[in-house]
Amino acid sequence: MHTVLPPHRLSKDQLRLLHEPVDRALARSAETLSELSGVRIAFTSAAIDMVGLGDVPTAVGNPGDPAIGIYVGMEGDGFGYVLLLMDESMAVQLAALMLGEEPTSISFDDELPASALAEAGNVACSSFMNEVGDATGLELLAMPPVVVGDMRGAILDVAIADIAQLGDDALLITTELGPESALTGRDGLLQLRLLVIPTPDTLTALLDALGSKARGE
């Protein structure tokens, strides 16, 4: 049975069903990033919504601004993308933390910092998938990470062009991650976002699985 509602709408019950496992999954992603970077990483509560594909790039800032994205494709019982998106300055800080180097020594023309970011994206996105998989009983497999540097809109085009073959809307889960001090406003704005864009069929499967679980089936 299909439980996906018409474009741009999820019922309150569906949103409630999604929020709990998504928040747990984000907590696990933040925890793994903390372990990797050695800095306590926290997250803001997730925003979950169905949006038109045309609105996806503007949902995460100016699509013309430069950014770094780490894509992890989702396969198995579900398909789609999980993307860790950040400003270049945040990417430099994250790579420096992971490599134990000074930010001034980081260049993404070098393979090592790009690999460090790929690993950060891999653990954050894989942790997310594992938690959602545990909550739904679906086996969600993470593909190898891909690091891209470009305009925000161009980075998002990668996922959008794929999802657009299946529909005009996407479930967009966004949150902000960063050092705990930044989260409480002491270090300014956070600049790192996790985006989850499943295919329409995968969203249906997730909601069906969560609905069955809620009914105790």
Partner 1 sequence: MAVVVSTGPSTLASPAGNPTMVGLGEVRVINGTTLPDETLVAYGLGSCVAICLFDAGSHVAGMAHVVLPGADPSGAPNGKYARSALPAMIARMQSEGAGDPRRYVARLAGGAQILRLGGSGTLPRIGDQNALAVQEALKSNGIALKGADLGGSKGRSVWFNPGEGGQIRVRTVGSAERCL
Contacts with partner 1 by CB under 8 A lie at: 53-58, 62-66, 68, 70-73, 108, 111, 114-115, 117-118, 143-158, 160-162, 164-165, 168
117, amino acid identity: L
- Taking the complex as a whole, the smallest distance from the CB of residue 16 to partner 1 amounts, in Å, to 29
Q: How far is the CB of 33 from partner 1 (least distance, A)?
A: 17
Nearer to partner 1 by C-beta: 108 or 134? 108
Nearest to partner 1 of 72, 172 (CB atom): 72
Q: 31 or 88, CB closer to partner 1?
A: 88
Kindly state the smallest distance separating residue 73's Cβ from partner 1, in Å.
7
Measured from the CB atom, the residue of 117 and 171 that comes closer to partner 1 is 117
Least distance CB 110 / partner 1 (angstroms): 9
- Whose Cβ is closer to partner 1: residue 101's or residue 108's? 108
Report in angstroms how near the CB of residue 30 gets to partner 1 at its nearest: 21
Decide whether 73 or 78 has the Cβ nearer to partner 1.
73
CA–CA distance, 133 with 141 (Å, rounded to integer): 9
CB 157, min distance to partner 1, A: 3
SS (H, E, C) the chain: CCCCCCCCCCCHHHHHHHHHHHHHHHHHHHHHHHHHHCCCEEECCCEEEEEEHHHCHHHHCCCCCEEEEEEEEEEECCCEEEEEEECHHHHHHHHHHHHCCCHHHCCCCCHHHHHHHHHHHHHHHHHHHHHHHHHHCCCEEECCCEEEEEEHHHHHHHHHHHHCCCCCEEEEEEEEEEEHHHHCCCCCCCCEEEEEEECHHHHHHHHHHHHHHHCCC
